[in-house]
């Protein structure tokens, strides 16, 4: 199993609530629509909680400002992800998702990477 982790920061003009609402109510159905053509095995949204508990943890560790959310996109194999560019329908779906992401994500401040999970507990 291969995973993409996408640490999201919202566009500055959006409130945290507006960001979360759009991401869950508009973007998630779009990902679901393209699941098969993009060979997505699993998609998870991890919404941050900007409340007092997060602030206490951040203060205790002297941590930077948290991300607004993390998207996890799972693929059955590296090959499933690496060969997406060969499929015109997958390229079209990827462009549609990217256009939508530009509506609510500050892409220049939102790191993305591919990796493998190592389960410890």
> Residue 20: which of 52, 41, 46 has the closest Cα?
46
Which sign does the torsion angle of CA 23, 25, 28, 34 carry?
A: negative
pLDDT of residue 59 exceeding 90, the answer is no
Count of domains forming the chain: 1
CATH number for 21 = 3.30.70.100
> In this structure, is residue 49 part of a structural domain?
yes
- Pair 113, 4: CB distance under 8 Å: yes
Q: Is the pLDDT of residue 50 over 90?
A: no
What letter does residue 88 receive in the DSSP assignment?
Answer: H
CA 93 to chain centroid, in Å, comes to: 16
For range 38-62, the mean pLDDT: 91
Q: Classify 57 as helix, strand or coil.
A: helix
């Amino acid at each position: 199993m291969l995973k993409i982790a996408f640490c999201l920061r919202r566009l500055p003009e959006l409130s945290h609530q507006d960001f979360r609402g759009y991401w869950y109510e508009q973007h998630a159905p779009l990902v679901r629509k393209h699941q098969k053509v993009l060979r997505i095995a699993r998609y998870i949204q991890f919404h941050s909680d900007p409340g007092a508990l997060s602030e206490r943890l951040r203060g205790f560790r002297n941590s930077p400002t948290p991300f607004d959310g993390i998207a996890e996109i799972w693929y059955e194999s590296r090959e499933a992800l690496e060969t997406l560019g060969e499929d015109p329908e997958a390229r079209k779906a990827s462009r549609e998702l990217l256009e939508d992401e530009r509506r609510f994500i500050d892409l220049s401040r939102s790191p993305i990477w591919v990796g493998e999970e190592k389960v410890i507990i």
